[in-house]
Chains A and B, each alone.
Chain A
Amino acid sequence: MRNVVMGAVIFSAIVGVAGGSVASAEDIFTVELVSVAGSGCDKDDFAVAIADDLTAFTVSYTNYTAMAGHGHTLLDARKNCVLDVRIRVPGGFTYGIAAADMRGFTHLEANANASARLSFWFQGSPATAYVAHDIRRSTATAPGTLVTGILDDDWQTSDATPVASIVWASCSAQRNLNINTQLRISSPSTDPESLVTMDTTDGSLTTLFHVALMPCP
């Protein structure tokens, strides 16, 4: 635990030293999307951007929508996207995912529910970290604590990992990080169409991943 805290301090110092140099900053932290596939994302349906502070990156999707209700089958009701990401960090450091945000839009009829899930793992590792959220769990016929009735709204989730629980990349092997997001929606097939998407007003869904660093032993 002490080492983790020290790592954060050291990394901050490195960033500070490199503050005036774009080239040096890029050497500190880079993210490269190696491959992408999933029922919710084709190869041209996403974009990756690194935050200005170099400790976060954003994936934007343009065509990632799950739908249910009249005219849809169960194949429409679950969509996913697997991103294989290569992250380079300063020599002697490893990294882990410290926080993850998901955002989107949803239109839910009165008896439709939706959920989102994010999981990630390092290549070759059996350990899977995940978060799962109900975007809505209640319905008109089975009201719960969440909003009922027809819902038209943006949705957002935000998760933080305690540092002691972060899954760190291996220091001895160079492995990519895999990130699998999933949207699910349910509705009676006789109801009008409901949908959930990670879609802003311009039609893109954004997932933000914050990254933490730790020194290798």
Chain B
Amino acid sequence: MAMRTPLLIAICCLSSTSLAKKPPPSTHPTGVAIESVTYSGDGCPAGSVAVGLSPDGEAFTVAFSDLFAAVGTGVAATDATHHCQLHLKLTVPAGWSYALATVDYRGYVSLDEGLTARRQSRYHISGEAPETAFASTWNGPVDDSYAVRDLGTGAPAPAYWSRCGKGKNLLIDTELDVQGAAGGEGLVTVDALDGEIFHLVWQPCS
């Protein structure tokens, strides 16, 4: 079998307005780096997460092999919810703050009618309070890939800044769950999470 069709391009569902708010490159501090990414949680057992850092060190992708929630015949009851916490260690140059502006999630969701899937992500810059959280919800019937963006979609953005020279530790905890009518089959995954250093935007401390 061979199939040939035009390659479809979808500029999908995501606002890029926040990108325009980023300071010009000349305002970027030097010495910014992601030092390490570690993870824990029942949605990301050891060896199930891969991190790809961009050549300029300002963007990265986290891909997950096992971050899902599911209900259905033969599926363990404990699979109805899973979570994964990412722990990023950043180099934060003295005299600079950063903001978490946007984070993109891509994955797959398939739900019978009567089922609801939810993705919730909580962000915490260490030493800052409170944390901030975003969520996506899907109601069955649905069967499709998805792309959603956290932060940066409302005004004013970005809104979540580190203190000057602080915020070395950034935590991102993503939880998935599927709930609803007994007997239905449902699956939601996060395949990848990525951004420009999570769209971190830097500014000089005032």
Contacts and interface: CB of A to CB of B under 8 A. Distances in A.
A69 to B, nearest CB: 12
B145 A119 contact: yes
Given A38-B191, A75-B70, A159-B5, A174 B106 contact: no
B40 interface: no
Contact of A82 (B8, B63, B75): B63
B110 A74 contact: yes
Interface in B60-95: 60-61, 63-66, 68, 70, 72-75, 79
Contacts of A72: 74
B65 A131 contact: no
A174 B56 contact: yes
Interface residues of A, number: 57
B61 to A, nearest CB: 5
Given A38-B191, A159-B7, A73 B73 contact: yes
A135 B56 CA distance: 39
Given A74-B75, A124-B196, A165 B9 contact: yes
A131 B10 CA distance: 9
A129 B72 contact: no
Interface pairs A-B: 3 shortest CB-CB? A84-B52, A126-B14, A124-B196
Interface of A: 34-39, 41-43, 72-75, 78, 80, 82, 84, 86, 97, 99-100, 117, 119, 121, 123-124, 126-133, 135, 147, 153-162, 165, 167, 172-176, 178, 180, 182, 189
11 contacts: A37-B64, A73-B75, A82-B50, A82-B191, A119-B106, A158-B2, A159-B5, A162-B7, A174-B55, A174-B56, A176-B53
Given A43-B47, A165-B7, 9 more contacts: A35-B51, A39-B65, A39-B68, A123-B196, A126-B12, A126-B13, A126-B149, A162-B6, A178-B192
